[in-house]
Amino acid sequence: GPKGEVSVRMVLLKGADPRGFVFFTCTASRKGRDLAARPRAAATFHWSALGRQVRIDGRVEPVTEAEADAYWATRPRGSQLSAAISRQSSEVGSRAELLRRRSAFEKRLAGQPVPRPRDWSGYRILPERVEFWTQKEDRLHHRELFERSRRGWRRVLLEP
Protein backbone atom coordinates (compact mmCIF):
# COMPACT_ATOMS: atom_id res chain seq x y z
CA GLY A 1 0.00 0.00 0.00
CA PRO A 2 0.92 3.67 -0.18
CA LYS A 3 2.27 3.68 3.39
CA GLY A 4 4.09 0.36 3.05
CA GLU A 5 1.35 -1.76 4.62
CA VAL A 6 1.05 -5.31 3.35
CA SER A 7 -1.97 -6.16 1.22
CA VAL A 8 -2.79 -9.63 -0.09
CA ARG A 9 -5.24 -10.62 -2.77
CA MET A 10 -5.65 -13.82 -4.72
CA VAL A 11 -5.56 -13.23 -8.48
CA LEU A 12 -5.75 -15.46 -11.53
CA LEU A 13 -2.40 -15.89 -13.25
CA LYS A 14 -3.10 -15.45 -16.96
CA GLY A 15 0.37 -15.55 -18.41
CA ALA A 16 3.99 -16.35 -17.71
CA ASP A 17 6.83 -15.72 -20.09
CA PRO A 18 10.48 -14.62 -19.90
CA ARG A 19 9.34 -11.06 -19.07
CA GLY A 20 7.25 -12.03 -16.05
CA PHE A 21 3.88 -13.11 -14.65
CA VAL A 22 0.64 -11.45 -15.81
CA PHE A 23 -2.74 -10.94 -14.13
CA PHE A 24 -5.69 -8.68 -14.94
CA THR A 25 -7.93 -6.57 -12.73
CA CYS A 26 -9.68 -3.26 -12.26
CA THR A 27 -6.98 -0.61 -11.97
CA ALA A 28 -9.29 1.51 -9.78
CA SER A 29 -9.66 -1.31 -7.22
CA ARG A 30 -7.74 -1.36 -3.96
CA LYS A 31 -5.04 -3.55 -5.49
CA GLY A 32 -4.81 -1.25 -8.50
CA ARG A 33 -4.43 1.80 -6.27
CA ASP A 34 -1.86 -0.03 -4.13
CA LEU A 35 0.15 -0.97 -7.22
CA ALA A 36 -0.01 2.60 -8.53
CA ALA A 37 1.36 3.88 -5.21
CA ARG A 38 4.02 1.16 -4.81
CA PRO A 39 4.56 -0.93 -7.95
CA ARG A 40 5.86 -4.09 -6.26
CA ALA A 41 4.22 -7.46 -5.72
CA ALA A 42 4.86 -11.02 -4.64
CA ALA A 43 3.09 -14.22 -5.64
CA THR A 44 3.13 -17.77 -4.31
CA PHE A 45 2.16 -20.92 -6.17
CA HIS A 46 1.68 -23.92 -3.89
CA TRP A 47 1.15 -27.56 -4.89
CA SER A 48 0.47 -29.33 -1.60
CA ALA A 49 0.11 -32.79 -3.15
CA LEU A 50 3.56 -32.44 -4.73
CA GLY A 51 5.19 -30.80 -1.72
CA ARG A 52 6.31 -27.90 -3.91
CA GLN A 53 6.02 -24.13 -3.83
CA VAL A 54 7.35 -21.28 -5.96
CA ARG A 55 7.52 -17.71 -4.67
CA ILE A 56 8.27 -14.71 -6.86
CA ASP A 57 8.62 -11.04 -6.07
CA GLY A 58 9.64 -7.95 -7.96
CA ARG A 59 8.60 -4.75 -9.62
CA VAL A 60 5.24 -4.45 -11.35
CA GLU A 61 4.48 -2.75 -14.65
CA PRO A 62 1.19 -2.32 -16.51
CA VAL A 63 0.63 -4.51 -19.56
CA THR A 64 0.18 -2.77 -22.90
CA GLU A 65 -3.25 -1.70 -24.13
CA ALA A 66 -2.93 -4.31 -26.88
CA GLU A 67 -2.29 -7.06 -24.31
CA ALA A 68 -5.29 -5.93 -22.22
CA ASP A 69 -7.53 -5.78 -25.31
CA ALA A 70 -6.39 -9.22 -26.50
CA TYR A 71 -7.12 -10.86 -23.15
CA TRP A 72 -10.44 -9.00 -22.74
CA ALA A 73 -11.58 -10.44 -26.08
CA THR A 74 -11.03 -14.01 -24.80
CA ARG A 75 -13.17 -13.58 -21.66
CA PRO A 76 -16.68 -15.03 -21.61
CA ARG A 77 -19.35 -12.39 -22.26
CA GLY A 78 -20.77 -12.83 -18.75
CA SER A 79 -17.37 -12.11 -17.21
CA GLN A 80 -16.98 -9.06 -19.42
CA LEU A 81 -20.39 -7.73 -18.37
CA SER A 82 -19.66 -8.28 -14.69
CA ALA A 83 -16.25 -6.61 -14.90
CA ALA A 84 -17.70 -3.67 -16.83
CA ILE A 85 -20.39 -2.88 -14.22
CA SER A 86 -18.33 -3.63 -11.12
CA ARG A 87 -16.79 -0.80 -9.14
CA GLN A 88 -14.36 -3.31 -7.68
CA SER A 89 -13.54 -2.87 -4.00
CA SER A 90 -16.25 -0.20 -3.55
CA GLU A 91 -19.12 -0.69 -1.14
CA VAL A 92 -22.44 -1.82 -2.61
CA GLY A 93 -25.81 -1.40 -0.92
CA SER A 94 -27.03 -4.90 -1.76
CA ARG A 95 -26.47 -7.81 -4.08
CA ALA A 96 -29.83 -6.97 -5.69
CA GLU A 97 -28.46 -3.54 -6.65
CA LEU A 98 -25.46 -5.17 -8.31
CA LEU A 99 -27.69 -7.64 -10.19
CA ARG A 100 -30.01 -4.84 -11.38
CA ARG A 101 -27.05 -2.85 -12.69
CA ARG A 102 -25.70 -5.91 -14.48
CA SER A 103 -29.10 -6.75 -16.02
CA ALA A 104 -29.64 -3.19 -17.28
CA PHE A 105 -26.17 -3.08 -18.83
CA GLU A 106 -26.70 -6.44 -20.49
CA LYS A 107 -29.98 -5.25 -22.04
CA ARG A 108 -28.37 -2.02 -23.24
CA LEU A 109 -25.60 -3.98 -25.00
CA ALA A 110 -27.81 -6.71 -26.49
CA GLY A 111 -26.14 -8.00 -29.64
CA GLN A 112 -23.10 -5.74 -29.24
CA PRO A 113 -19.61 -6.53 -28.01
CA VAL A 114 -18.80 -5.48 -24.45
CA PRO A 115 -16.17 -2.72 -24.57
CA ARG A 116 -13.20 -3.08 -22.24
CA PRO A 117 -13.55 -0.51 -19.45
CA ARG A 118 -10.78 2.12 -19.31
CA ASP A 119 -9.97 1.05 -15.75
CA TRP A 120 -9.67 -2.66 -16.54
CA SER A 121 -6.21 -3.82 -17.53
CA GLY A 122 -3.36 -6.01 -16.42
CA TYR A 123 -0.07 -6.00 -14.62
CA ARG A 124 3.15 -7.91 -15.08
CA ILE A 125 5.30 -8.87 -12.11
CA LEU A 126 8.92 -8.57 -13.25
CA PRO A 127 10.63 -11.13 -11.04
CA GLU A 128 13.69 -10.06 -9.11
CA ARG A 129 13.65 -13.10 -6.84
CA VAL A 130 12.29 -16.59 -7.47
CA GLU A 131 12.37 -19.19 -4.72
CA PHE A 132 11.73 -22.88 -5.27
CA TRP A 133 10.74 -24.75 -2.12
CA THR A 134 10.56 -28.54 -1.89
CA GLN A 135 9.09 -30.30 1.13
CA LYS A 136 11.49 -32.71 2.82
CA GLU A 137 11.36 -35.00 5.86
CA ASP A 138 11.43 -33.54 9.35
CA ARG A 139 10.89 -30.01 7.94
CA LEU A 140 14.43 -29.98 6.55
CA HIS A 141 13.02 -28.47 3.34
CA HIS A 142 15.09 -27.70 0.26
CA ARG A 143 15.06 -24.02 -0.73
CA GLU A 144 16.74 -22.54 -3.79
CA LEU A 145 16.66 -18.79 -4.34
CA PHE A 146 17.44 -17.16 -7.66
CA GLU A 147 18.14 -13.42 -7.49
CA ARG A 148 18.36 -11.22 -10.58
CA SER A 149 21.38 -8.96 -10.90
CA ARG A 150 22.80 -6.89 -13.73
CA ARG A 151 24.90 -9.92 -14.71
CA GLY A 152 22.01 -12.40 -14.71
CA TRP A 153 20.59 -14.74 -12.11
CA ARG A 154 22.47 -15.78 -8.97
CA ARG A 155 21.50 -19.08 -7.29
CA VAL A 156 21.83 -19.63 -3.55
CA LEU A 157 20.60 -22.28 -1.17
CA LEU A 158 18.62 -21.13 1.86
CA GLU A 159 18.23 -22.71 5.25
CA PRO A 160 14.82 -24.25 5.81
Catalytic residue numbers read 139
How far apart CA 8 and CA 94 sit, in angstroms, is 25
